[in-house]
Amino acid sequence: MNKSELIAEVADATNLTKKKVGEIIEVTLDTIAKALAEGDKVTLVGFGTFEVRSRKSKRGVNPVTKEPIQIPASKNAAFRPSKQLKEMVK
C-alpha cells in the first residue's frame, strides 16, 4: 500500500474527503519527523514506537580500490512494532 492508497482507505472509512485526509496524514508524518529530528521518541500505543538510534563510526573497505575507509557515526530513524501489531501480522 502506498500513500495515495492509504489516503483513499482512510477517506472511505471516515467519510472525509481525500484532500482533507491527505492533509491530516501529511501533518501527522511531519510531526513525527520533527519529533525524531529533535531526538524525541514517538509512541503510538497499540502500533509501535519511532525512535532515533545512533550508529558508531567504523572502519570499512572501498570495494573498488580495496582501500580502508572510515565510515562516520550517524543517526537513523527506527521503528519498533508493538506486541499487538506483531500479533496481527503473524
User: pLDDT, tens digit, for every residue of 57-76?
Assistant: 999 999 999 999 999 999 99
Give the tens place of pLDDT for each residue, 18-71. Answer: 999 999 999 999 999 999 999 999 999 999 999 999 999 999 999 999 999 999
Comparing CA positions, the residue from 46, 45, 56, 54 lying closest to residue 78 is 54
Separation of first and last alpha carbons in the chain: 18
pTM of the model: 0.79
74-81: strand order across its sheet: 42-44, 48-55, 74-81
Cell of 21: 485526509
* pLDDT given for residue 47 in this prediction: 96
* Residue ranges per structural domain of the chain: 3-85
* Residue 56, pLDDT score: 95
Number of residues that make up the chain: 90
Task: Look at the domain 3-85 and name its fold.
Answer: HU Protein; Chain A (4.10.520)
Q: What is the pLDDT of residue 68?
A: 95
